[in-house]
Amino acid sequence: MTTWLLRRLIQAVFVVLVMTVIVFIGLHVIGDPIDILISPEADQAERARAVAALGLDQPLWKQYGLFLWGGLHGDLGRSFVFNEPALQLIGGRMPATMELAVTAVLLSVVIGIPLGLYAGLNPDSLLGRTTMAGSILGFSLPTFWVGLMLIMVFAVQLGWLPSTGRGETAELFGVQWSFLTRDGLAHMALPALNLSLGNIALVLRLTRAGVRENIHMDYVRFARAKGLSPARVVLVHVMKNILIPVVTIIGLEFGSTIAFSVVTESVFAWPGMGKLIIDSINVLDRPVIVAYLMIIVFLFITINLLVDLLYTVLDPRVRLENRQ
Amino acid sequence: MVVRYQAAMRGAVVAGCLVGAAAMNGAAAQTLTMASSAPITSVDPHYHTFTPNASLDAHLFDSLLDMDAQSRPVAALAESWKLVDERTWELKLRQGVKFHNGAAFTAEDVAYTLDRVPRVPNSPGSFAIYTKPIVGVEIVDPHTIRLRTAGIYPLVPIDLTQVAIIPHGLGKDPATEDFNSGKNAIGTGPFRFVSYKPGDRVEMDRFDGYWGKKPYWQHVSFRIIPNDGARTAALLSGDIGFIEAVPTTDAARLRTDKRVHLAETVSLRIIFLTLDQSRDGPTPFITGPNGEKLDRNPLKDHRVREALSIAINRPAIVERVMEGAAIPAGQFLPPGSYSYAPDLPPPAYDAARAKKLLAEAGFPNGFRITLHGPNDRYVNDAKIIQSIGQMWTRIGVQTSVEGITWSNYIARANKQEFSAYLLGWGSSSGEASNPLRSLVATFDAAKGRGAVNRGRYSNPQLDALIDKAVTTADDAAREKVLQQATKLAMDDVAFIPLHNQKNIWGMRSDLTYIARADEQSRAQDVRPVQ
């Protein structure tokens, strides 16, 4: 267990280092943030002052060295645009993205698994067929389009839900959350639904495929012959066997929902990390981009770790390390 | 008894709802929710020269002078200003003005502000460009201040419109973070800072001690919605009452929508083409008609530049590509601005003469060129260069077109990597010396001239006229010189003007807005229809 963890950790550090080098070189090749940020009316002297103020007059290797040195001390630099520590900036936006992602993943579990079970057990029923057909739409329609359609229908035409922004928030553990207020929940409904549609479809199809595969296995027949109730056969025995791929996908999807909720966040003007990162890329705000990517790498590694640990719970045959 | 109790309860609930609804209507009627099209980068008014920041600052802070809707300077915290000698401006300050924290506004605050502006740490776009000409500040009495300039510099009042005044009670070097938290966000403006959620919104309340006209709104929620579709949808759904930068594709539809009213005006932003003048030899993106290398840069020839300019059908671009949200341009500024030259109409479309000019210049078969432009910066930028590409090809200049994302594009443009390319310029000062000095004056780091003259156009005669203009104190005389300089630049085709954009705001049908040429969105100028 310890060696396994240690190996994972070393891998993670290596991934982060490679990523920072790529970002540094990549952004340097694209352009210069000063060109974008500075007032076009600034004269040459003012431009030189701004370049020096952001430390961009140093050679790239030196900028990278300074960054690493700062990173070792827990300082990932200050945003060029906002003049705030990059970590603090991202941390401020994180709750908004987190609650959206968690809600979206919860929705996909709560809606996707039961529907998938139903469709798997009753593949020829009308509801089963409709669900399967609908799920194709779920992951083939582009998110930005679905988002705008949701706004058009529920906000503009029907006027049921607000179209944009985060709504009222309440404090819990020193952080502002919108799921604690009615207004906040109303604001969260459309973006969360938009974000979860693809995941619902994915979870649903995986569950259905698993049920179809397992329902004819010997152990199911045996359980039935033993006289177990159909509910117990499906919910305990079949479920246990189909959950491994589902958990893997949910884990991965949770990570990508957090990292790549950019589209949904910009369509719904949701002030989360996704919107911050896209704005930062547009103006080449390097400290924020690097810090964000580091957080995401860390997040994926943690999620994969948790998924691996969950496997051992779900399937006792799985071992974390190969014993020689 | 039970029945009666229920009835009484029902009555109470209904009454409660009615009261609640009335109160909410009252609050809602006095609340304006507005949407900005780009995120603000700070509440600190001296941190970053950036239009969304300027929009927000106009609610919280005042400057000594303000720009009116047509971008002409008008009195604000200064009631009057005059030259006492060639190098000294004397400003009389308004009396009885209070800051949001109750402190009285005096000359001390002006001196404090001018001292802080150039020293804001880590500023990516400093306001020092507006205060730099001021070399000395003298407080005559609490409501009179004198500003000394190194040379004759008539633009001091105009530059001061950009500098928000903060109270001197903030102490030595107030930090940018403390403005964002609200601690230092103290001005004399019509609204008081309540809260700022980065990337989301700024909440403001009306400041009842404001010296000027009382705004209609008790409370303003300044939201940030960069996505065009989402902003329009938010207006249509009624969540937002007032939006800026209505996309041209939606404007036509919104004009016929009864729920919505649009306000528009011609902006100070001009869209133009820059031509490479930095090379006498071959320029990177021009080859002969059959792709052969040329030994000279055709764009150095005045006739070629003129041919390229008159080959563009400006009214067609305005009508088809911009869907009416622009006016054809023949110079930097739109009609009605100070120093607009009335005898310079947009160059008329004339393909036959363009071909003749090309032949005279020694290119009877034209040449090949790549026209570059951004594809995510100006309204319809990529479509504009595509149309121009077709128009140029019609006169024998075979044009390929390349649209590039702004962050990469501007870096390459600054390195003179292109031959012909599209750019835009908003004249914050509302007069011609600003684009003349930055865009067409000879690139000269020592003098701070031509900083964004990316094509490196250079004309000593024009430089002399610009020098003369910025040292002419008399407004009428200076306007003459500026018009003369503009005419010289345009006759020589220093760049190819295309059009002035229109700024379009959308709002609920029961509101009106005084549309501003400088693109700022101000809640105090939004009022219910009388």
Domains of chain A, each with CATH number or no CATH: 2-72 (no CATH), 87-323 (1.10.3720.10)
3-state SS assignment for residue A112: helix
Q: Is residue B28 part of a domain?
A: no
Q: Say whether residue A25 is in contact with chain B using an 8 A CB cutoff.
A: no
Per-residue confidence (pLDDT) for residue B208, from 0 to 100: 93
**Are B230 and A164 an interchain contact pair (Cβ–Cβ within 8 Å)?**
yes
Structure confidence at residue B129 (pLDDT): 87
Domain membership of residue B492 as a residue range = 268-501
Q: Is the pTM of this model over 0.90?
A: no
Residue B89 lies in a domain: no
pLDDT of residue B10: 42
* CATH code at position B475: 3.10.105.10
Q: How many CB atoms lie within 10 A of CB A235?
A: 12
Question: Distance from B143 to chain A by nearest Cα, in Å?
Answer: 31
DSSP B65: E
Question: Kind and range of the H or E element at B399?
Answer: strand B398-404
- Residues on chain B touching A267 (C-beta within 8 angstroms): 227, 229-230
Evaluate the CA torsion angle B421, B422, B427, B430 in order and state its sign.
Answer: positive
In a domain, B251, yes or no: no
**A34 touching B, CB under 8 A?**
yes
Please indicate, yes or no, if residue B277 is contained in any of the structural domains. Answer: yes
Sign of CA dihedral A117, A123, A124, A130: positive
Answer whether B124 sits within 8 Å of A44, measured CB to CB: no
Task: State whether A54 and B122 contact (CB < 8 Å).
Answer: yes
Question: Residue A88's CB: how many other CB atoms inside 10 A?
Answer: 14
pLDDT, position A320:
64
Count Cα atoms within 13 angstroms, Cβ side, for B91.
Answer: 28
**How far apart (Å, rounded) are the C-alpha atoms in residues B467 and B103?**
42
Contact A32 B411 (CB under 8 A): yes
Q: What is the pLDDT of residue B28?
A: 52
B302, part of any domain: yes
User: What does the pLDDT look like over B81-91, one tens digit per residue?
Assistant: 999 998 999 99
- Asked, for residue B496, whether it belongs to a domain, the answer is yes
- Give how far B356 is from chain A: nearest CA, Å: 37
Q: Is residue B141 part of a domain?
A: no
Name the minimum distance, in Å, from the CA of A40 to any CA of chain B: 7
Cβ–Cβ under 8 Å, residues A164 and B223: yes
Helix (H, G, I), strand (E, B) or coil at B168: helix
Cα gap B431→A41, rounded to integer Å: 13
- Give residue-wise pLDDT tens across range B218-272: 999 999 988 888 899 889 888 899 999 998 888 888 989 999 999 999 999 999 9
CA distance A302 to A59: 35
ipTM of the complex: 0.77
Residue B239: list chain A partners with CB under 8 A.
155, 162-165
Task: Give the whole-angstrom CA distance, residue A37 versus residue B52.
Answer: 13
Residues in A closer than 8 angstroms to B237, CB to CB, are: 151, 155-156, 159, 162-163
Strand ranges in B53-210 using DSSP code E only, listed in sequence order: 65-67, 73-75, 78-85, 88-93, 134-141, 144-149, 191-197, 201-206
Structure-token pair, residue B162: 């950009």
Cβ contact B122:B42 at 8 Å: no
pLDDT digits (tens, 9 = 90+) for B280-334: 999 999 999 998 999 999 999 999 999 999 999 999 999 999 988 999 999 999 9
pLDDT at residue number B192: 95
**pLDDT, one tens digit for every residue, chain A (324 residues):** 678 778 878 887 888 888 888 888 888 888 788 887 887 878 888 888 888 888 888 888 888 888 888 888 878 888 888 888 888 888 888 888 888 888 999 999 999 888 888 888 888 888 888 888 888 888 888 888 888 888 888 888 887 888 777 877 777 776 777 777 777 888 888 899 888 888 888 888 888 888 888 888 888 888 888 888 888 887 877 888 888 888 888 888 888 888 768 888 888 888 888 888 888 888 888 889 888 888 888 888 888 888 888 877 777 776 665 544
Q: Do residue B229 and residue A53 have CB atoms under 8 angstroms apart?
A: no
Shortest CB distance from A267 goes to which of B122, B227, B240? B227
Angle at A177 between CA A175 and CA A178, to 5 degrees: 160
How many domains does one find in chain B?
1
The 3-state DSSP class for residue A14 equals: helix
- Residue A36 contacts B where some CB pair is shorter than 8 Å: yes
Residue-level pLDDT at B522? 95
Burial of residue A174, with CB atoms counted within 10 A of its CB: 0-12 exposed, 13-18 middle, 19 or more buried? exposed
* Ranges in chain B, pLDDT < 50: 1-27
What does the alpha-carbon distance between residue A50 and residue B427 come to, in Å, rounded to a whole number? 21
How far away is chain A from the Cα of B376, in angstroms, using its nearest Cα?
Answer: 10
Q: How much is the pLDDT for A166?
A: 80
Q: How far is A44 from chain B (nearest CA, A)?
A: 5
Evaluate whether A280 touches A292 at the Cβ level (below 8 Å). yes
pLDDT at residue B21, as a whole number = 37
**pLDDT for the residue numbered B347:** 95
Q: Does residue B100 sit within a domain?
A: no
